[in-house]
Chains A and B, each alone.
Chain A
Amino acid sequence: MKRFLRLRRSFEHGVHPAHHKEQTEDLPIQRVPFGRHYVMPLGQHIGVPCKPVVEDGEAVRRGQLIAEPGGFVSTALHSPVTGRVTKVGDFRGVDGRFAPAIGIEADAFATQEVDASAVPDWRGMSLDEFIRAVQMAGIVGMGGAAFPSHVKLSVPEGTKIRHLLVNGAECEPFLTNDHRLMLERPEALLEGAEIMRQKLGAEETVIGIEANKPDAIKAIRRHIPDGQPVRVVSLKVKYPQGAEKMMIRSVFGVEVPAGQLPRDVGVNVNNVGTIVAIADYFLRGMPLIERIVTVAGPGVTYPANLVVPLGTPVRDVVRFCGGLKPGSREIVMGGPMMGRPIASLDVPVLKGCSGILVFAEADTSKRKEYPCIRCGRCLEACPYFLNPSRLARLSRARMYDEMKAYHVQDCVECGCCTFACPSNIPIVQLIRTAKDDLAHRKEPDA
């Protein structure tokens, strides 16, 4: 059975949204010209916010450290441009609320180049030094969660990482940034992967890519240096193929036990963007100061794949793409399935922002909601085999504690259930509400 499943190279359940990638998949990556104002939020990664090391008015160079980690699950921050720190204080964040950040004004006359003076010698490093270096390079998961990558590297005693899994699934519709990256910089990807693999002491690197990117698969296969243990695996096109646990299931045919982490089955999962970031730092000395963003969606005049300096206001990016079409009402950071809607165009591009998608009101989820008719479509969709219908009804009845019995905590909020629901029930929000309630009720005693 397991064997058979492995042959299928996929997981069970999940959904098949139209993937809308044709808009951008053939557009080469471009650079956005530097603008004037940049904002670097201190808490743009999962975990503890970082601590600024610059003051107002201080001059900073592109790639210079401007904030250091605030703890272990935290990373450094570097200036995306050469210029002056305008303000260390509160700026409007993605959700519209104010949050601590560093404002930088670009120097219009500076040559915006990174001083690659100090390229670290990763071979010489011990694992701990390497982890520290990754942390100081400000590298986090580019797969959307923006989880500090060094944390994943630091495996506790006894657990042995056998596989490095590079996540090139890009299962979310519209997004093609990982796709272009794999197509245009396969060497960098392979170099980065090799660095990670050696440091982790993993036996092999597996690169998982959805079957709808044959060119990327070919490109990478072509560049694999002989002797480097790399496997490129073509995966069934299905959302959420890119969810790490799903991908592990697809590639290795094993399920990561609930509540445990990939490392517990000897796998370390990293997004292709993350891997390339590793290569850029350890081979070219460039910390994480820019990322590739897909700008697409029915509301964008000229869709594109762009290299965007972190901290660039969405407004500038959108303007570069020819501005918004009339009637655009919703802008999402990330993918249409899991991304977050943003409250204003001043929001800066963050490390975890894989896409900027613009929709008109008609395309959004403003649809009439009907009662749950218990049709079971959501059960058929949920990749974690939960019972979303039940969870939603329990949440409506405010019976949050009962929801634990139905493993509400195992939900990753992938949105498959809501996608599948014919009654347009906001299942994910209902589940999120319950999770928050449970979490906050826990706080006092924990």
Chain B
Amino acid sequence: MKKNQSREEFLKGIWRDNPVFAQVLGMCPMLAVTNSAINAIAMGAASMFVLVGSSFLVSTFRNIIPKQVRISCFIIIIATFVTIVDYTLLALVPKVHKELGAFIPLIVANCLILGRQEAFASRYPTKLAVMDALGMVVGFLVALFSLGAVREILGDGALFGVKLFGDNFEPWIIMILPPGGFLTLGVILLFFNWFKYKKDEFLEDVAAAERSGR
């Protein structure tokens, strides 16, 4: 029971409640750093560390932290993790850090993370909280990656810096520029809606078939 509940918590974040596609949270880092797949992954990893870590702490101490100051505590915790990530990346992979630039500190402001603490971690036992965090962040990663991949492939004719279409492919510069971010995400969301719509249609048909079958 508990087992598959935690599995459930994990899975929901990836598709049904996908933070980006379904909940439209944490858009800013989402769009800002996804002009290449690698940046997207790096950002995702950073967020993962922060979200999972803070969810863990928050839900562990959820009974000790008084309601009145919980938000402040959350923020302090998150900010701490972010600072840690910031310095670690700066020390280990300066190149990536330079690419992501100011957007690592901005993870603090990412609605997704604070949102999860408030909505989930502060209410549920550690195990579930971590699973939920993992699910969410994996969903986030999926979104980041798909966006980053599309933008890099079209915008640079490459994936992870590997040229795909030979040298005289004409890159779609716009994809690397800000408008490309908005447009691509918009179109992806469109497909997401379309898929859901088709799915619902399908389910209805099935239901109808069954009803007629009875």
- Asked whether any CB of A lies within 8 Å of a CB of B in the complex, the reply is no
A binding-site residues for B, Cβ under 8 Å? none
B binding-site residues for A, Cβ under 8 Å? none
